Amino acid sequence: MMKTLPTAVLAKFARALLAVGVALIGLETGQAAPGSASAVVSTTLGVDGARFTLNGKPTFLLGISYYAALGAPQEFIQRDLDAMEHDGFNWLRVWAMWDMFDHDISVVDAGGAPRAVQLDQLKWLVAECDWRHLVVDVTLARGVGGVSTYAAHRRAVEVVVHALKPHRNWYIDLANERDVRDARYVPVSELKNLCAQVHRLDPGRLVTASFGGHDVSKKDLRAALLTIRLDFVTPHRPRNAASPARTEAYTRASLAIMRELGRVAPVHYQEPFRRGYGRWTPVAADFLTDLRGARAGGAAGWCFHNGAQRGARDKRPRRSFDMRRQRLFDQLDSEERKVVAAVASAVASDEKSNGAKPPES
């Protein structure tokens, strides 16, 4: 009796055949093969009102933190990407500026000048994700681990945009938690200029700049959407036990404010709470409640956030914060594995129960 192969295996086999086919075409045409930074574009990320689109189709972005990818072996990354696809994830967040555990893997130095090895790894990763129909969040930062000045920030933006311009499956976060009043802080005036710089260098590239640790106000949204002209907003909501149950209401409130302002854009939950961060230790049910609340409230994307274990010896497991010795999926604990096993079905269940109704634009 013939056995049916699992869907994930068939999909992987189909991609391999496609890669071979395009590589053979490349021999005749001189066109780049998959996996190179100049490969043919496969995935295009867009915005339609309050929703994201992938190749023109409205798509909820279900993501996972993958911060230190630029320091991970490519074999680890490929296995993790296989696991992400298997579990239904379609985007990942990667930091282009990351300096932790005595290991600097930033694509630029503090002055914004390119670092060739790390930049090549980022180009390889974005190309690899392009062929897998995965979106990449490329995050920049000011302060510790990031650039030190506005001039360096502008140079870093130019380096990243130029390097990744052939691909349409990535967006840029100009400055992680840019409104926190410490070394991370980037003024609205500077962000406005940085956003315009990206759109000038690469028209159509989606741009955001994340908020740090609070729910956004009308003032926040006015600055983000009408002054800076970001393409979507990325609030990092509070991390406490009450947070998951409030996500739906705060999402609805944000979209209502946008309608008042006259410009509606996606609300993208790029960095929610995580395990190993503070006194509160969320369990799988908390993550799934947060995800379902985001979906029900009309959010366009959500991330399964993960990171180093504060207070533990050597901060292990470090999860996405350090993947030199272990790939991400081998560092997740049993509660986190419950989450990755359930997120895709949670999204599918919500779509079925809601009749796939889009958020009001």
Q: What string of pLDDT tens digits covers the 361 residues of the chain?
A: 444 444 444 555 555 555 444 444 343 433 444 444 444 568 999 999 999 999 999 999 999 999 999 999 999 999 999 999 999 999 999 999 999 999 999 999 999 999 999 999 999 999 999 999 999 999 999 997 889 999 999 999 999 999 999 999 999 999 999 999 999 999 999 999 999 999 999 999 999 999 999 999 999 999 999 999 999 999 999 999 999 999 999 999 999 999 999 999 999 999 999 999 999 999 999 999 999 999 999 999 999 999 999 999 999 999 999 999 999 999 999 999 999 999 999 999 877 666 545 455 4
Return phi, psi of residue 76, to 5°. Answer: -60, -45
Q: Which residue has the tokens 């989450």?
A: 339
Residues ≥6 apart with Cβ < 8 Å to 315: 101, 308, 309, 321
CA 357 → CA 236, 298, 301, distances in Å?
25, 9, 15
Exposure class string for 211-230: b at 16+ Cβ within 10 A, else e:
bbeebbeeebbbbbbeebeb
User: How many CB atoms neighbour CB 279 within 10 A?
Assistant: 8
Residue of 111, 127, 210, 110 whose CA lies nearest to 164? 127
In the prediction, which pLDDT does 159 show? 98
Q: Cα–Cα distance between 262 and 259 in angstroms, integer? A: 5
pTM metric for this prediction:
0.90
In the prediction, which pLDDT does 349 show? 81
Give the three-class secondary structure for 138.
strand
In the prediction, which pLDDT does 13 show? 54
Domains (range + CATH), the chain: 39-353 (3.20.20.80)
Torsion over CA of 169, 174, 176 and 178, rounded to 10 degrees?
A: -150
Return phi, psi of residue 227, to 5°. Answer: -95, -60
Q: Cα–Cα distance between 191 and 290 in angstroms, integer? A: 29
Q: How far apart are the first and last CA of the chain?
A: 51
**Which helix (H) or strand (E) segment is 45 a member of?**
strand 45-48
Q: Which residue has the tokens 């985007």?
A: 91
45 touches 54 (CB < 8 A): yes
Residue of 353, 346, 235, 351 whose CA lies nearest to 288? 346
Tell me which amino acid residue 73 is.
P
In the prediction, which pLDDT does 346 show? 94
- Supply the DSSP string of 204-243, one letter for each residue: T--EE--B-SS---HHHHHIIIIIS--SSB-B----STTH
276 touches 308 (CB < 8 A): yes
In the structure encoding, which two tokens stand for residue 162, read together? Answer: 């130029």
Residue of 51, 359, 47 whose CA lies nearest to 229? 47
Tell me how far the alpha carbon of residue 301 is from its chain's centroid: 9
The runs of H, that is alpha helices, within the chain are: 7-29, 74-86, 116-131, 150-164, 188-201, 218-222, 243-261, 284-297, 334-353
Find the length of the chain.
Answer: 361
Q: Which residues pair with 199 in a beta bridge?
A: none
